[in-house]
Amino acid sequence: MKLFVGLGNPGAKYAKNRHNIGFMAIEQIAKDYDFGPWKGKFQAVVTEGHLGSEKVMLLKPETFMNLSGQSVGEAMRFYKLASSDVTVFHDELDLAPGKCRVKIDGGHAGHNGLRSIHQHIGPKYGRVRLGIGHPGDKNAVSGYVLRDFPRVDADWLDDLFRGLSEGAPHLASGDSGRFMNAVALRVTPSHSSKSNSFNLSKTKSEPLTESSAQEPGSRLQQLINRFK
């Protein structure tokens, strides 16, 4: 079994906060793959289902963010899972809105949810870092993450969640490359980066083929055609 954890704060007051993007991500997965009903367990709400051939439990801690590790550790011990079986979806200030990165192991970078998980299961677990951007002033971070996403963010959030969901079976099987490709095919060009993790010329009506991706000229031409 794999354990996918979404980080956030429980309750309607926080449901649409930037800090709750982890909850939102696994809620999309549960919906798209017809997971069972959410049930209270492990100081959390959980649901089980399958992603491809992998049995997966989705977990949303109800302990509030800074105690998330209590819930994750309890579930892990009950099912006798290794920390490598755990993947945590969380908000990331150091990534621009709409960006997504997969990371294994490493520090918690001051994120209270990750800090708590580190304390209970150690650092050797997977993370799906979901960019929400930074307010520009470290003193404004708390207010920023605890505010709702503005309506203008609805489109890129929808693209991101669909990509995460479509790639989820690959993530469950351990293929982070194919998972990231699924996200890339959904995320809009305006959220591309210099790292080339996303296709600059990808559009839903004109998918970029593997062969054309290898030809710089055709890539440029596709971009030009989009603005004719």
How deeply is 210 buried, as exposed, middle or buried, from its count of CB atoms within 10 A (0-12, 13-18, 19+)? exposed
Judge whether 68 and 117 are in contact, CB under 8 Å.
yes
Q: Number of helices and strands (H, E) in the chain? A: 8, 7
**Dist. CA 147–CA 150, nearest whole Å:** 9
Question: d(Cα 187, Cα 203) in Å, to the nearest integer?
Answer: 9
122/114 Cα distance (integer angstroms) = 10
Residue identified by tokens 């989705």 is 58
Residue 50 among the catalytic residues: no
Determine phi and psi for 223, rounding to 5 degrees: -65, -40
C-alpha span between 142 and 131 (Å, rounded) = 16
Catalytic residue among 19, 111, 170, 191: 19
- Which residues make Cβ contacts (< 8 Å) with residue 196, sequence separation at least 6? none
Distance from the first to the final alpha carbon of the chain: 50
Supply the residues annotated as catalytic.
19
